[in-house]
Structure 1
Amino acid sequence: MSVYYRPIPVISHAYGNALPLAGGWERFLHAERLERGRPAEIVPIWEIPDDRLEALTAPRPAIAGMAWDAPRLMGIVNATPDSFSDGGLYETAEAAIAQGRRLIDDGADWLDIGGESTRPGAEAVPVEEEVRRVVPVIEGLVGTVPISIDTRKAAVAKTALEAGAGLVNDVSAMTYDPEMAAVVAAAGASVCLMHAAGDPKVMQDDPRYEDVLLDVYDALEARRDAAEAAGIARARIVLDPGIGFGKTLEHNLALLRGLSLFHGLGCVLLLGASRKRFIGVIGSAESPADRVHGSVAVALHGIRQGVQISRVHDMAATRQAVALERALQG
């Protein structure tokens, strides 16, 4: 039976003998030892097996020239008519490019450009239409900050990578299109593998897990291994637990509380929770545009768990909060 170790971050400057979490800004002295069917147990770092400790502490290699010595913010550019938070606002290439530049001015380290909504209930978009939406935007922003293409389709990814994107953000973890892994590997690109329980059209119908934290961990481990087997080096793999993708409010909270567990997979982590429905439910904000404060709170929580990339809509507010958080933590 598998044993899992969830590092428990501490305030870095208070514990000189604490170990770095993924080589980053957070440190830890203890971990929660988890095993299916048994109570959790808090153990000191010297009781963590060497191979597990190495995975939890080793610095992650740079991706697209981006080092992980500080939290990085990824700005969202939805070149779509129907995304849940801002669908239609940036539907034209000109509007999407302008939004990308605003996000950069507000402090974005990355831009994630998508041409297909993956909100619950969304229909798939034909390849030709998705390419039409995203390629002019990528071409208009290439050379500014690193760009990722948010797509499940290999043909869209290939065209986007040729246009200047460097990372493929695939919400299906390369299960939707069997050609995706070959495209990423051949291009020498990076990939973000996100966990989702089913296709966006049906994923929220009745999601169920035995243990959502451990189930998602195992699923991401399997997709990481499949990507490596396809020729994508672990150093180029980013992992995302997929908040809101086939999860209830309780599932989302369990994943967020246990985020640091995923460092055990030895990859850069991405958290995409911005403006999602559970924030509106807990924070009494029906409109996605009114979920700024809750979204910033969740992003800061992820950063305190050592998450390297926070994917956000509200860049200026998040950047300001991160600056204050890091100053206060020293």
Structure 2
Amino acid sequence: MTEFNYQLNPVQVDPSGHYDFQNVFDFPDFIEMRPVLREAVRQVAKEGVKEPTLPVQVERMATALEEQLERCTRKYERQAGYYPNQKKEKNELSRLFTHVLQAVSARDEIDQDIEDLVYAVNQTRLSIIGLPLLEGEGPLYSPDQDQELLPGTFYYLVALELVRPYLKDPKGGMVPENVTKKGRDLVLHLTTYAYRDWDSYLTHQYDEKHAIENQKGLTNVEYYDRLEENERHYADHAYADVLADLFGDLEQMLVPTYCDHLAIMGTNLEQVFQKAPLVRLQFTQKVRERFLVDDQGEEHVMDQPLQSIHQKYEFYRTNFS
């Protein structure tokens, strides 16, 4: 079995006081890494169960553990340190990453992709271990805590731009009491997209589609109706491409001229835009372009996908029923 040096490249505070936290969830190839990481988390969850447990229960535990892993990691990345009341939680998080690291590196076959994941997980583990102590008190993780967009970050600024037509007072802030019902729904959807695992989302779609295709007793019309309903339900995957393209646009605008790198969930763009006010205007324009914003300020990302889906199944119903 391959031996790894788990003390490689510990994270340091630079002379300016910046703590270069490295987060596996923001590594460039994380989409490819996620299935292996998820398998390792599932193994850790399974090993943590002492009594016989149904597979579905283990799966739920693994999902909850993976969510905790990511949300806690992003919290400490944002804080760039830990508060005294968070010491136990921080230590448990580093131990969890150690267990995940051991599960990944214990695989029989270690190729370059696995080595990259081992490096990314270990750098995250070392980042957590080396966090400096902060003064005061910080929040502890709660699985019941609502996910939210963090002020100044990429998704927050996108929402801030798209919610403008739904502000009761145009000069007011993006707070619930100043946003109409339609605007609150939009922010909720963007929050969902920010935290959604799109690969898992599409897997659910394929599973449901497969079930429809194998369901007996459906008429042709019923069959096409259900397939159309399935595609319409998951059509908001279009937002994944829009958001990815928009973040790529932003990286080209800012890196490396104004900052070394961007973390989609962690970088406070407001601070960066203070040094680059023209880029803020360019970013706003890109938001409008990517989201197909009309003259009234409303976005239309879903218009074309939904129309195409309907036209496709209307054709099927007309010609194959």
TM range (shorter): under 0.3
Normalising by structure 2, we get a TM-score of: 0.24
Point out the structure with max Rg over C-alpha.
2
User: More helix by proportion, 1 or 2?
Assistant: 2
User: More strand by proportion, 1 or 2?
Assistant: 1
